[in-house]
Amino acid sequence: MARLTLVTGGARSGKSSFAVELALKRYSRRVFIATALPLDEEMKKRILKHREERGDRFRTIEEPVDLEKALNALPSDTEVAVVDCLTVWLGNFYHHLDEDEVMVRSRMEGFLKTLDRPSCDLILVTNEVGWGIVPENAMARSYRDMLGFLNHRIAEKADHVYLLCCGIPVTLKGDSTHGA
């Protein structure tokens, strides 16, 4: 049975590096599903840096919106897929669906159902955004709340949940030796 691992934490806490290292340590046939869009120079540089760090150790699929499709189309020999990151993916939905919260929730529910029977182990990277300042506008509050709901639902399904703080993984759920 496929295992689901959620890796969360604040910005620049080491989530992506931890997820990649976990996949490298435990699996030989790996896919990396990247959700970021190169919308500006800063993001283009970040994407390039992440690609260089992964090198040829992962097959990379770039899918900013349709994670269900990407997960359902994984090569049959895939042992693990790392999805980085759900925070960006949800933001892409808000952009592509014109901030239609009902549509965002519907697509999010479809993705959550996909997690019930994945074809391989999954390592999902997300951000913990609910610990900061309450956003001043309704759309940003909606996004924060929706991401909190998504993270909560995935953590319920997950076999392992890690919180990265200052680059240190803290096991929140599951066997702490899984990430060691």
Give the tens place of pLDDT for each residue, 95-132: 888 878 898 999 999 999 999 999 999 999 999 988 87
Bridge-based pairing state of the strands 59-62 and 121-125? unpaired
Contact 162, 172 (CB under 8 A): yes
SS3 per residue for 72-110: HCCCCCCCEEEEECHHHHHHHHHHHCCCCHHHHHHHHHH
Could you confirm whether 50 is annotated as catalytic? yes
Q: For residue 22, give the nearest of 6, 9, 36, 1 by alpha carbon.
A: 6
Instruction: Please identify which residue in the block is written with the tokens 């760090």.
Output: 53
Contact 87, 129 (CB under 8 A): yes
Q: Which domains does the chain have, with CATH numbers?
A: 4-173 (3.40.50.300)
Geometric angle at alpha carbon 107, from 102 and 111, rounded to 5°: 145
3-state DSSP assignment of residue 156? helix
Tell which residue, 113, 118, 123, has the closest CA to residue 1. 118
User: How far apart are the C-alpha atoms of 121 and 112, rounded to whole Å?
Assistant: 15
pLDDT digits (tens, 9 = 90+) for 124-169: 999 998 887 888 999 899 999 999 999 999 999 999 999 999 999 9
Radius of gyration of the chain (CA): 15
**Tens digit of pLDDT for each residue in 2-56?**
999 999 999 889 999 999 999 999 999 999 999 999 889 998 998 898 888 888 9
Residue 96, pLDDT score: 84
Question: Can you give the pLDDT at residue 178?
Answer: 67
**pTM value surpassing 0.85:** yes
| pLDDT for the residue 157 | 97
SS3 9: strand
> Region 171-177: what's the mean pLDDT?
88
Measured CA to CA, the distance from residue 126 to residue 19 in angstroms comes to 11
Which SS3 state, helix, strand or coil, does residue 8 take? strand
pLDDT reading at 180 higher than 60: no
Structure token digits, residue 58? 């992962």
Angle between helix 138-157 and helix 101-114 axes, rounded to 10 deg? 10
Identify the active-site residue in 50, 95, 96, 160: 50
